[in-house]
Amino acid sequence: MTIRLDIAQLRSLSPLDQLKTDTLRTILDKIELLQARRGLILFRKGDTDKRSVYVLSGMIELMEGDKVVQRIAGGTDDARNPVAPTLPRRQTAVAAGTVNYISIDSELLDVTLTWDKTGVYEVGDFSAEQLKESENWMASFLSVRAFQKIPPANIQTIFMRVQPVDYKAGDIVVRQGSRGEYFYIVRSGRCKVIRETPLKAEGIDLAVLNVGDTFGEEALLTDAKCNATIRMQTDGSVMRLGKNDFQSLLQRPMLEWVNQGAADKVIADGGQWLDVRLPGEFKVFHKDGAINLPLYVLRHKLSMLDPEKRYVVCCDDGRRSAAAAFILKQKDFEVVVLTGGLSQDGL
């Protein structure tokens, strides 16, 4: 039997019933719909996995040792709330028969609730159409797992400080070679990423950015000039966040910096050095076993990386590795950044 999850089912659950329809629709594919047969364990006593579990149909038993302390059946008042939400788990949850249930990342749920109840209001006074656009880009932004690690207060402040800017098709939002001043989130429409080269003045099309996609962070993190032009492919708008706000509200909470000793421990535990310098720099000196994936091609070579592996990102001084780590965190890679960067004498 095929199990399907829809908005109506989510509306029967607390606190999901407090979210706007567009928000629910955006996080729908982030919610795992699962089925358990009799005797299957949904979670064990002592588990610390930050996930909220809801019973949709069937019955589960909460066990303490061999004793059943509570039964929860789908469709009842008890099933409207997450099952045994306290962490570490105080009981073991066992399916008493065939059970359909959902599991959602608790941090995603928390940050989505915070945004849904405060973000749109704080952004400013929008028309009904603009409000819907805002909900779409905010929901897309918050669906990025790395952004869920940012404190809810920071999320609210970001939504208060971003500025909307409208553009027509063909307008340039960021020009290659200009100094980076803002972090951008596509609010509506589509943008094209173009890199100009000596052999092709009109540039090479690298990517298309849609609602919720971001750009501009590399120039801010490396304190360098923008390495591509962003041109509107359609009429649309972007939300932009100033450099100082980006650094304090987004960059610092998202990135984890480690010293040489901590980096060596990550490697010893199965991690991988990821060097984001140019091939010429890499050839002169690099960490043993490191792989070289220059920052300028990183976005287009993510398939070369193992999403199950933990990476220590490095460069000469930490700027490029910070930019690379920010990109990788948005794509749900587990990364840390080497503080201070590489030193030839230390290799």
Which domains are assigned to the chain? 7-106 (2.60.120.10), 164-248 (2.60.120.10), 255-346 (3.40.250.10)
Instruction: Flag whether pLDDT at 76 surpasses 60.
Output: yes
Instruction: Flag whether pLDDT at 316 surpasses 90.
Output: no
Q: What is the mean pLDDT of residues 18-30?
A: 78
Instruction: Provide the token pair at 321.
Output: 């590795």
Residue 35, strand partner residues: 100
Residue 179, strand partner residues: 225
Measured CA to CA, the distance from residue 211 to residue 238 in angstroms comes to 9
| Cβ proximity of 234 and 187 under 8 Å | no
pLDDT band at 346 (very low <50, low <70, confident <90, very high): very low
Question: Which residue stretches of 68-216 are H helix?
Answer: 106-114, 120-123, 128-142, 152-161
Q: What is the mean pLDDT of residues 34-58?
A: 93
pLDDT band at 144 (very low <50, low <70, confident <90, very high): low
| Cβ proximity of 218 and 319 under 8 Å | no
Residue 115's pLDDT is: 60
Residue 249's pLDDT is: 87
Measured CA to CA, the distance from residue 273 to residue 264 in angstroms comes to 9
Please count the residues of the chain. 347
Residue with tokens 């995603």: 108
Give the end-to-end CA distance of the chain in Å, rounded to a whole number: 58
Q: What is the mean pLDDT of residues 214-226?
A: 83
Instruction: Provide the token pair at 8.
Output: 């109506």
pLDDT band at 75 (very low <50, low <70, confident <90, very high): very high
Measured CA to CA, the distance from residue 89 to residue 147 in angstroms comes to 26
Q: Which has more confidence, 110 or 88?
A: 88
Instruction: Flag whether pLDDT at 123 surpasses 50.
Output: no
CA distances in angstroms from 341 to 274, 319, 338, listed in the order given: 12, 8, 6
Measured CA to CA, the distance from residue 108 to residue 16 in angstroms comes to 12
Task: For the chain, list the strands marked E by DSSP.
Answer: 32-36, 41-43, 51-57, 59-64, 67-73, 92-95, 99-105, 163-167, 172-174, 182-188, 191-197, 200-209, 214-215, 229-232, 236-242, 257-258, 272-275, 291-292, 310-314, 334-338
Burial of 98 (0-12, 13-18, 19+ CB in 10 A): middle
Q: In this structure, how many other beta carbons lie within 10 angstroms of the beta carbon of residue 302?
A: 14
80 three-state secondary structure: helix
32-46, 195-209, 257-271: the lowest-pLDDT one: 195-209
pLDDT band at 261 (very low <50, low <70, confident <90, very high): very high
The alpha carbon of residue 188 and the mean position of all alpha carbons in its chain are separated, in whole angstroms, by 19
104-108, 146-150, 248-252: the lowest-pLDDT one: 146-150
